[in-house]
A = this chain, B = another copy of it.
Amino acid sequence: MLDELGVDYIEGGWPYSNPKDLDFFKAMREYPLAKAKLAAFGSTRRKGVRPDRDENLNAIVKADVPAAVIFGKSWTLHVEKVLEATWEENLAMIAESVEYLKSHGMEVIYDAEHFFQGYQEDPERALASIEAAWRAGARVVVLADTNGGTPPHEVYRITAEVKRRFPAMPLGAHMHNDIGCAVANTLMAVAAGARHVQGTINGVGERTGNADLTAVLPTLELKMGFKVLGGSPPRVKFAKLREVSRFVYEALGMSPNPYQPYFGDYAFAHKGGVHAAAVMKVPRAYEHIDPELVGNRRVFVVSEMAGAASVVLKAAEELGISLDKRQEAVRAALEEIKALERQGYSFDSAPASAMLILIRHMGLYQERFRLVEWRVVTGPTNTSYAVVKVWVSGEVKLEAGEGVGPVHAVDVALRRALVSAFPELTEVRLRDYKVVLPTAVRSTESVVRVTVEFTDGGRIWRTVGVSSNVVEASIKALVDGYDFALQQRQLQNRKA
């Protein structure tokens, strides 16, 4: 995916430190890349060891990939206290390591670890360390803020000074987020002359994270006039970047960050009635870019602050209902939403549940089924049994379900009751499930809030359930999810 995205290098791991990373490089021989070069990571040689005898450098060579990323010391504190080496030895370690990897046909990217702190304490030595790497043949010298504590104006000043001293040296940036500036520091280094940026998808990384490429790349192209990720149009490459971002969250078992710049669900969410109306009129006045440029979209958020206009616009857009915002029904729905929010509900991330409330108040809801009763007997995995009593189009059905857990057992029983009447529900499945404690009371008696994301293969919708019983909260969200699928179809048929 990174190769298709158009990145130049993929740093695949540190073969010396982790044997699994060496396995990764081996496995990758079966997957030829179109554009991206694989790079193996490691340090410069050890003190007092010849490069050809250094296990770390030889592990990099053994990875058998086109590029190497090696880090070396620019900060006297590290040379003296961590390496316990002389400054001359440090320079030799840098130069010989670069030369050795080059002699094996590898492209070498040199990471100047703790460069900014090193420069602040002793600029001449810091400059000498990167000059040694460059003269030895490093393709690019990456200025790394390894501790992540350098403020952006200092990053700019120091990078610009390096550029003045060595105008021909190709510079890169490697930033950490310890003061919340990894993205900005990367941009400031580029503004000062760097032309190679390192980062991670979604900023995933140790401590507070690395520079988030999903924020860095669109800003470089859309705000600063650079071309990134090859020549395809922004809306193509950034839609792909969004896809990679979602994949990484999924693979790590993390929920996507709804507040993420450019790609988050709330990145172009507008609250407040008057404001939402103005956005419709002059989008450029309220949005820093057209959301479609990055594969995102404008949304109007349902919440206590929203006012009637946002709900009206959202309903109009999603369900094709035309509403008059002064309608009593809209006001009543908003009252109910606010009352539920006081109980721990949150509809910002579950608009489908809000929509069900709205259409009930508008008289557009047609009851297709109702869960009348349910009981579950549960114990360790695979010993959950459910009984549900469901009203389905005028008939009351009693069904049983067996499952790995109580929610699964109820789901099985519920589907048995529903699918003969509504075969379209066969396609509906969960995409995500999350539970939090929405209030400050904390015990096993606390109210929990369950949010569920559904898909039918195409559309995605999210619902919410709240209860002091986690199974009941889950079932409420589940029932809303199936109900929304049926109501949406019913409203569409009505329109057609």
Contacts and interface: CB of A to CB of B under 8 A. Distances in A.
A218 B437 CA distance: 30
A406 B471 contact: yes
A246 to B, nearest CB: 11
Contacts of A266: 206-208
A75 B288 CA distance: 14
A376 interface: yes
A208 B77 contact: no
A445 B404 contact: yes
Contact of A261 (B208, B264, B271): B208
A261 to B, nearest CB: 4
B430 A82 contact: no
B406 A179 contact: no
A30 interface: no
A195 to B, nearest CB: 15
Interface string A121-132: 000000000000
A311 to B, nearest CB: 16
Which of A152, A407, A429 has most chain B Cβ within 10 Å?
A152
Contacts of A379: 373-376, 472
Nearest to A192: B153
A377 interface: yes
A254 B114 CA distance: 34
A239 to B, nearest CB: 18
A467 B282 contact: no
A442 B404 CA distance: 14
Given A206-B271, A430-B446, A470 B470 contact: yes
A208 B380 CA distance: 41
A398 interface: no
A254 B434 CA distance: 13
B152 A152 contact: yes
A234 to B, nearest CB: 14
A86 interface: no
Contacts of A18: 305
Interface stretch (A31-39, A180-188, A321-329, A355-363): A180-188
A174 interface: no
Given A379-B374, A379-B376, A262 B179 contact: yes
B78 A381 contact: no
A437 B253 contact: yes
Given A180-B183, A264-B208, A381 B151 contact: no
A189 to B, nearest CB: 10
Given A180-B261, A408-B445, 13 more contacts: A17-B274, A114-B285, A151-B219, A153-B156, A180-B219, A181-B183, A181-B219, A183-B184, A375-B377, A375-B378, A378-B378, A378-B406, A412-B444
18 contacts: A82-B285, A151-B184, A151-B224, A152-B152, A153-B187, A180-B261, A207-B267, A207-B268, A251-B440, A253-B436, A253-B437, A375-B378, A376-B378, A378-B406, A378-B472, A381-B469, A405-B445, A411-B444
